[in-house]
Amino acid sequence: MQLDQITFTRFIAALTVVFFHYGQNIFPANVSFLFENVTAGPIAVGYFYVLSGFIMAIAYYKPDKSNQKAISKKKYWLARFARIYPVYLLALLLIVGAKYKDLTQNWETLPLHLLLLQSWVPGYPITLNTPGWSLSVEAFFYLCFPFLLIWVYKAGTKPLAIFTVVLWIVTQVILLTQLNSSSYAPKTDLHDLIYYYPLMHLNSFVAGLLVGIYLKRNSNKIQANNNTLWLILSFALIFLLIWSRPYLESLLGFKIAFTNGLLAPAFLWFIVLLARHKGMFTKVFSYSWLVLLGEASYSLYILQKPVHGIYDKIVVPRISLSETLHFYIFLILLVVISLLSFKYFETPLRKYLRSKS
């Protein structure tokens, strides 16, 4: 199944993370109607998780297999390690180089981040390279995936479907009740447990996995289509849901978070429509340079903090420009570095590591 048209959406999602961290006052984020969507970085991470489960199912699930030998564990673990860790480690070491004096007081921080365990311990998820917390969560998904796949081979998809729905409901209930409790406050252990704890995001990954398995199993029955209208409507629904969050909170009288899988059904509707789409959007999104941007989105995501730190320390004090110009120069630099990282660091290292299997 060819999914190049989905790859570019990862770049768009990664851009919203960059705007969330560094460009909330920059056009187009400073347009009130667009602010919630352009700075929807935390929500975009949820999209990554849903998409990750979906892509893993497409890549590894084999409808004609019925036992755990359907996946080579050695090749799988090496492929997952090669996929995320080299660039993750590079970004982490750059941050450590800038913050090494702080580590003498919090010596346990570095081991947690090196072992991708920071999201499991409140107080530590964003102590070094901020975006790295999501890789700690993703590593947990990678750990769970072979066991989930074996479960599907042995029991079918019905138990997984029930588990997915129950987990989604339980996660949303815990999230909403704790987010609106009197004990909640930003930068507390409860905040870290709500937003960063891996189990609070598992529903997103499992939902993507379930839908990916269903699509792979029924690929011969589900017809490709060029219904661009439905695809536009699915995107519009996501846009309007994110845009409406402040108004929904005001109307309902309590806080709402879209970060932990609440929008997973809408994301999956969009992903499936785009995966099966054979019209204009697939043609445009499959252009090689857009696919390349999508492939480099991981480097863009994980390197944003060290690159911004270097730019802010070296360039900003020496060149007097507006905040907007500085942001876009930084963004262009980040994109270029991400492309170089993908082509000359990430890809060669991944190929080398995977060759060892």
Residue 272, number of CB atoms within 10 A of its CB: 17
Terminus-to-terminus CA distance in the chain, angstroms? 25
Rounded to an integer, what distance in angstroms lies between the CA atom of residue 327 and that of residue 316?
Answer: 10
Radius of gyration of the chain (CA): 20
* pLDDT tens for each residue of 98-129: 766 666 666 788 999 999 999 999 999 999 99
For 75-134, give the DSSP string: HHHHHHHHHHHHHHHHHHHHHHHHHTTGGGT-TTHHHHHHTT-GGGSTT-TTSSSGGGHH
CB 284 within 8 A of CB 290: yes
Residues in the chain: 357
So what's the pLDDT on residue 353? 84
* pLDDT tens for each residue of 319-330: 999 999 999 999
At 257, which amino acid appears? Answer: A
Q: Which of 39, 5, 45, 1 is nearest to 21 (CA)?
A: 39
Rounded to an integer, what distance in angstroms lies between the CA atom of residue 9 and that of residue 20?
Answer: 17
What residues in the chain have per-residue pLDDT under 70?
A: 1, 65-70, 99-106, 221-226, 357
How crowded is the C-beta side of 59, counted as CA atoms within 13 Å?
A: 14
So what's the pLDDT on residue 65? 59
Residue 2, number of CB atoms within 10 A of its CB: 8
* pLDDT tens for each residue of 229-276: 899 999 999 999 999 999 999 999 999 999 999 999 999 999 999 998
CB 37 within 8 A of CB 242: yes
Long-range contacts of 286-291, Cβ-Cβ distance < 8 Å, separation of 24 or more:
286/4, 286/5, 290/7, 290/8, 290/11, 291/4, 291/7, 291/8
Rounded to an integer, what distance in angstroms lies between the CA atom of residue 35 and that of residue 19?
Answer: 10
So what's the pLDDT on residue 103? 62
How crowded is the C-beta side of 261, counted as CA atoms within 13 Å?
A: 30
In Å, how far from its chain's centre is CA 357?
A: 27
